[in-house]
Amino acid sequence: MFGQTFLVVIVDKVVLFFISGRLMKNKKDNNLLLVQEVNLKG
């Protein structure tokens, strides 16, 4: 039980770290994609 919870916490931290790193690295790209999506939907 404790092992599973510990594993989930580690995976969650890694995923959050990866996502935040990608967002920081690709902030301009993400903004461009977001603008393109808005233009397509609009």
Q: How far is 34 from 28, CA to CA, in rounded Å?
A: 10
Threshold 0.85, pTM exceeds: no
Domain that holds residue 27: 2-41
Q: Which residues contact 30 (CB under 8 A, 6 or more apart)?
A: 23
Digit-coded pLDDT (tens) for 1-42: 677 888 899 899 999 888 887 766 767 776 777 777 777 776
For the chain, the domain total comes to 1
